Structure 1
Amino acid sequence: MYLERPVAVKTVAAELLALPDRRRTALARFEREAKAAARLDHANLTTVYDAAVTEDVCCLVMQLVDGTTLDNVVDDGRLPVPAAVSVAAQLCSGLSAAHAAGLVHRDLKPQNVMVRTSGLVKVLSDADPQLTMTGETLGNVAYASPELLAGDRPLDGRSDLHAVGCLLHHTLTGRPPFDCPNPAEMATRHLTAPPPRFTDHGVDAPAALQDLTHALLAKRPEDRPGGAADVYAALAPYLPAPDPAFANRRMPPEDPRRPFLVPQAPVMPRH
């Protein structure tokens, strides 16, 4: 039956899978991660409906999100602390579910984060086989973790938390932490340079929020927070204050730059 439901289709270029010795491993991992992503049901993650792997096509079929990407939101200027924190908290909420399912996104960047007209933030699903191969395609270097850039160890969820730190810095200051036009220099700074402070860009933010961002940007994964739910909890004090009259007043049209006031709670780790 043809349901006439609009969807988004993400394809992987055939030439990226042209190497016979790596194709089988890459496609097996793509299929495994696509199935895991399809089982996720979370407000801050795009839903995966289907996937296809043939000789000619490798693609994901997923939810089409009505809204704009985070890079368009930030292009309008810096976000105030509560708005920037709400974006980061929602990212952590979605990532907590993905990480609990054994998935690492590997390519978090503003172009892969959607903001709906309600302000709800959604992470676009990613199961690109190239990104699962250590040391290969790195997505956007501006948000890549040192271990992703170095390609010298298996990745876990703490690599995504480094990207959250980069995005939090970007939304608060208007630029990524290591902002330079040369990708090689940018990668070197990710690997060796201490991250800048908000005050370097004239941004007044709570000291504890600066400390959290620096912890997220730590060079070694073991020096970062242990999980996305932990980061969500640390961000919670800076979320927008709830408005008791919110439910009882007629609201104006939603502003897509205003993140959702009540981010979905994260998946708590099992003990």
Structure 2
Amino acid sequence: MKERSVSGFIFDSFNVIFMIVLCVTTIYPFLYLLTMSLSPADVSFSQIRIIPEKISFVNYEQVLGYDQVLIGFWNSLKRTIFGTFLNVAVTIAAAYVLAKKYFPHRSFWTKFIVFTMFFSGGMIPSYLLVRDLGLMNTSWALILPVLVNPFQLIIARNFMQSLPIELEESAKIDGANDIYILWKVIIPLSMPIIATLGLWNAVFHWNSWFDSLIYMTDTNKEVLQMVMRRIVLDGQMQVMSSVLPEDQNKVNTETIKAATIMVTTIPIIIIYPFLQKYFVKGMLIGSVKG
């Protein structure tokens, strides 16, 4: 084996130390909040700990027993599923067209799409458009304005350009049209980029709250992140209708907040391991080809 130089050893050591520090600073806040959420109300957190003294699920019972949390969870789940599906479907269809060299004025349309990455109409015109279209207090107000992300479209186009054109040509010789080729040839080969786009959009839709703040005036239409914001930032513990007056001494505001954060965070974390193997490949191939 080839011996490493001193500079190479120092560089590798620095990388290892840096990654360890980065992992600790990333994982510690999550473990701290998880421990807090699993602790009963009488446990003091004056000392730093990541292992609970006592394990209790009363905080989760209180959070999940609050009707507004369940309504927000369903609204977020519905938005994430339909929003991600539509985002990926429209992006893949548009990328397939832009990837074809014979598409008329392809360079112009690509530059036009890239232009929208740097300039937009702004929040007020977007709000007026959504209001005038009658989309207020509907899930479409959260999905349609972000239906296509220019950056994701360019990444998907680059990925499809890397696919062998001979596959498409052979399919056309057999009589296949463009829609059949997209469905039977391109999409099965594009699973890495589809998984990457799905992960990006699922995380975006699940974590988004500002558009719900703008477009949703009905509290029953709010997403889970808005409910969490009200509980965590505004400290409106009185909205926890499931907490009876005689049980107020059993409730700790901080542990309830931690449980709320866990409820909103864990579902999207569970998805990532299933898409990780596709995520790296999709990002690599989609980004290196111009």
Say whether the fold is shared (TM-score over 0.5).
no
Q: TM-score range by the shorter chain?
A: under 0.3
Higher helix share: 2
Higher strand share: 1
Rg larger for:
2
TM-score for the superposition, normalised by structure 1: 0.22
